[in-house]
Structure 1
Amino acid sequence: MNTKAKRINDFGRDHVPGLVLRVSVPFMFAQFVNVLYSIVDRIYIGNIPVTGADSLAGAGVCAPIITLLSSFATLIGIGGSILFSMRLGQDDKKDAERILGNCFSTLLLFSAVLTVVFLLTKGMLLRWFGASDITYPYADIYLTIYTCGTFFALLSMGMNYFITAQGYPMLGMVTTLIGAVLNIILDPLFIFVFHMEIAGAAAATVLAQLASCLFVLFVLYKKSMPVPLHLRRPELTLVKRILALGFSPFLILATDSIIIIAMNAVLQYHGGPGYGDTLITCATIVQSYMMLITSPMLGITGGSQPLISFNYGANKPERIRKIILCVLLLCIGFTTFMFLVSRFLPAAFAGIFTDNAEYIELSVWGIRAFTMMIIPLSFQYVFVDSLTALGMTSLSLFLSLFRKTTYFAATCLLPLAFTAASAFYAEPIADGIAALLSSAAFTLVYFKYLRGTGRLVQIGMGKEKAAA
């Protein structure tokens, strides 16, 4: 593979709209493909004869734990790639290589510790997160097998950020495409041919993540890469800086787990025996649909972060402004399209998971409720991720936590005043309020740091200093 021939993106000089499309769209597609891991699993699980609905509810209970595991890859991957991109913008490849090696070794340590911790605590976690006596056995089987593949999941996801950060978004997309295609092939084979049922879905996912992991390491270890991967002993000072930069996106994903946990627990409690499992099954379908919106949006905004960080390191505020505008327009276009889809085609999506008329009707209503404010949500995603790429992690963290806190409070309080199903309205309430706040906050940052074309204020990156 000739990586030099494929690297066609100059983050500091290429025409901005074309550059954003070449980098963000493959990353968006990669995230869309990545979400197929869980959605394809859920589709096949929901169609298992006799036990499909209970198995799907069990997989839904596992979702927040899987999200929590994945957030650790984001902690290192985004935190490290932002600092990595700034170093490339300053033409400091030696320090960039040091950052890359430290991220790799830190992910190795994290994956080992997390595997042990989650295997020891999975029974307690599943009960806390809404598993009933009926759904617990399915959730336990799925989570046990998935957790054993934590090493592959964290390495493939966390290190893939550094492929895109070096100007190879297409290779980053191939990483997730390999895993998703393999997962789609293995799922029906393991579930229906080998009769492994929900265990087969988990095993297919782990093998798919293994394939992605091997591809990522193969690409990064090639000497033809601008900054090849070398294993380094973790340097505490540098690791702390990486964790500080990655903490905001990590907490964003980790708190997603809390929201899902709260939703499942509230639906189980207020729905009561029997109907609680029905609500969780439908919530799992609705959340799968939302992943088709939020994951590609994270791909668009996440793909733009290396561009923003690179030009921040190179002190080019004019390019930063253009990048953010292009990314915002791209997100608004995407969410507008998905809003229309959610109005006209939700029944077709729900029908992929189940043929039960009650589940489909409730899921259609839930999809339409969840997506009421997805267009304004574009502003939240773009501005928060842009602030993170600029090193303003405290502000981005506050904006993210404000949305999640609003979401959590609405999830818990709405069923007290209305019915259990009213918890589905927590999503649009939080999205609308958060979009207004993040837009106001970013406007202040824009006028303070990005409006002029002079010197950019460097914000506590350790080595960085204001460029002339």
Structure 2
Amino acid sequence: MMEKNQRAEMMENEKIPRVLMKLAVPGIIAMLVNAVYNVVDTMFVGMLGNTSAIGAVSVAFPLFMIIAAFGQMFGVGAGSYISRLLGEKNKELADKTTSTTFFTSLVCGIVFMNVGTIIIEPLLKMFGATATIMPFAKEYSTILVAGSVFTVCNMTLNNMIRAEGNVKYSMFAISLGAALNIILDPIFMFGFDMGIRGAALATVLAQGISFIFLIRYFISGKSYIKIAFKHFTPSSKIYAEIMKIGIATFVRQALSSLSLGLINVAAMPYGDAAVAAMGVTLRILSIGVFVIFGYNQGLQPVVGYNYGAKKYNRLQEAIKVSLKLTTIFSMLVTVVFMFFAEAIIGVFSNDAEVITIGAKTLRAISLLFPLFGFQQVYASLFQALGKGKESLILSLARQGIFLIPAVLILPKFFGLNGVIYSQTIADFFTIIVTAILGLILNKSLKKEEQNVYYKGLREQQIVV
């Protein structure tokens, strides 16, 4: 593990491309493993030879995203604040924030576990479960909700570990959970003949083991920031700082969940094959999406630390390098999805209708994917810099302001094609909003840099 003083030295003085790679690569690997798990999990369910079972996984996915939204709310919000506090050398408040966030997320996870179990069926109906999909969806989702406390806490702990710069440990924890899930899936599903219930049980068990691995990092004293009940400080200041960024993250995740549910509902009139195709397509797309997310997990602590330390040259360099790398990657993903859409969808289902609808959807979503890196880099920047308003706007834009109306309106005029192209339309308008906010941010950072420079000159003149 990297020593504490080495982490600070790396953040402040090491070359930005090298720092980004050190922090981003573990995040990319962890998120990629997670994405591969999602894909493999769907593949195993596809082996059951039942399109309704694949549809059940598609319907359960928005529910899982709601659970994850709570963990991301606490984790991303606290992570942004902790990074800035460490940059300001305020270790005491960083410890209080860490402990307060963990214990709050633990209580939230327990509450969700109990409430979610009671209202599971209405939730699944809202997310697009048909009469034939519902039995599979309920069987699968009930177990996932029972283990939701692990999901919430894991995402919280992961983000806080990344905030102090130890992305490698976070990577190992996520990778461990995903790898165990992939191993346990076929054992429970086919070895123990548990079917779709086995897939859900494998997920919960893997999440539980991952939680043990994560909390051990803090309990063993390896962490720089600490979790202890004596540091638990439920103050309005700490919660305000967490929620300033966390709420925007929660809204984005919750709207993503709602939008996926609406897409499933819009696809329902076209049969289980359409619902299944939407779910398969989004799982495949998650490979490209999660790599960008993983990269941004490495970018955020670099941005937060250097912004807190008022090292604007390093901050600007991190932005330029990140935009270049994520755009190149997004373009490569687009080429693969465009040219091999049918072959990729065919790995998950042998249903001709699922393959046809899925391939068309994958190509439609890929049309504007080359600019996905641009969107997400700026969304991460606003989070890391503590600019909650702008972060909230972008969160509402892609998965709410533009996507929800598109899903509700386009199918009425274009049928299934309206469902298929709804995300593409939403991405188009989101890119415009991102560009406007990005220009404003760049001007604001330059102004802040100038103010710091002139303040330094005045202080030197006073000393002389």
Instruction: Calculate the aligned-residue CA RMSD, in Å.
Output: 2.0
**AA at the equivalent of 1:186:** L
Which residues in structure 2 correspond to 1:286-297 (within 5 Å)?
Answer: 286-297=281-292
Greater Cα shift, 145-154 or 23-32? 23-32
Cα gap change, 1:7 to 1:195, in 2 (>3 Å): farther
- Secondary structure of the residue aligned to 1:226 is coil
- Structure 1 Cα separation of the partners of residues 447 and 371 of structure 2: 23
Q: Tell me which residue corresponds to 1:464.
A: none
The answer on whether the counterparts of 1:6 and 1:168 sit within 8 Å (CA) in structure 2 is: no
- Secondary structure of the residue aligned to 2:211 is helix
- The CA deviation string for residues 393-417 of structure 1, in whole angstroms up to 9 with x for no partner, is 1112112212222111111111111
Q: Could you tell me which runs of 5 or more consecutive residues in structure 1 were left unpaired when the two chains were aligned.
A: 458-466
Residue 109 of structure 1 and its aligned partner are, at CA, apart by 0.9
Cα gap change, 1:64 to 1:7, in 2 (>3 Å): farther
Residue 444 of structure 1 and its aligned partner are, at CA, apart by 1.5
- The CA deviation string for residues 218-260 of structure 1, in whole angstroms up to 9 with x for no partner, is 1122323222322343513122321222111111111100110
Greater Cα shift, 339-348 or 210-219? 339-348
Q: Tell me which residue corresponds to 1:420.
A: 416
Q: Tell me which residue corresponds to 1:41.
A: 41
Q: Could you tell me which runs of 5 or more consecutive residues in structure 2 were left unpaired when the two chains were aligned.
A: 454-458
Cα gap change, 1:33 to 1:450, in 2 (>3 Å): farther
Residue 422 of structure 1 and its aligned partner are, at CA, apart by 2.5
Note if 1:131 corresponds to 2:129.
yes
Q: Tell me which residue corresponds to 1:236.
A: 235
The answer on whether the counterparts of 1:264 and 1:280 sit within 8 Å (CA) in structure 2 is: yes
Q: Tell me which residue corresponds to 1:183.
A: 181
Q: Percent identity?
A: 27
Residue 431 of structure 1 and its aligned partner are, at CA, apart by 1.1
Q: TM-score, normalised by structure 2?
A: 0.93
Residue 111 of structure 1 and its aligned partner are, at CA, apart by 0.5
The answer on whether the counterparts of 1:222 and 1:228 sit within 8 Å (CA) in structure 2 is: no
The answer on whether the counterparts of 1:377 and 1:432 sit within 8 Å (CA) in structure 2 is: no
- Secondary structure of the residue aligned to 1:27 is helix
Note if 1:411 corresponds to 2:399.
no
- The CA deviation string for residues 186-236 of structure 1, in whole angstroms up to 9 with x for no partner, is 001111111100000000001111111111111122323222322343513
Note if 1:376 corresponds to 2:381.
no
Note if 1:339 corresponds to 2:339.
no
The answer on whether the counterparts of 2:99 and 2:226 sit within 8 Å (CA) in structure 1 is: no
The answer on whether the counterparts of 2:96 and 2:232 sit within 8 Å (CA) in structure 1 is: no
Q: Tell me which residue corresponds to 1:308.
A: 303
The answer on whether the counterparts of 1:380 and 1:435 sit within 8 Å (CA) in structure 2 is: yes
Residue 172 of structure 1 and its aligned partner are, at CA, apart by 1.1
Q: Tell me which residue corresponds to 1:158.
A: 156
Q: Tell me which residue corresponds to 2:102.
A: 104
Which residues in structure 2 correspond to 1:25-424 (within 5 Å)?
Answer: 25-49=25-49, 52-231=50-229, 232-237=231-236, 238-268=238-268, 271=269, 275-404=270-399, 405-424=401-420
Aligned length: 451
Q: Tell me which residue corresponds to 1:445.
A: 441
Residue 451 of structure 1 and its aligned partner are, at CA, apart by 5.7
- Secondary structure of the residue aligned to 1:224 is coil
- Structure 1 Cα separation of the partners of residues 245 and 137 of structure 2: 33
- Secondary structure of the residue aligned to 1:235 is coil
The answer on whether the counterparts of 1:7 and 1:167 sit within 8 Å (CA) in structure 2 is: no
- The CA deviation string for residues 408-430 of structure 1, in whole angstroms up to 9 with x for no partner, is 11111111111223211111111
Q: TM-score, normalised by structure 1?
A: 0.92
- Structure 2 Cα separation of the partners of residues 34 and 430 of structure 1: 25
Residue 336 of structure 1 and its aligned partner are, at CA, apart by 0.8
- Structure 2 Cα separation of the partners of residues 234 and 280 of structure 1: 45
Residue 302 of structure 1 and its aligned partner are, at CA, apart by 2.8
- Secondary structure of the residue aligned to 1:59 is helix
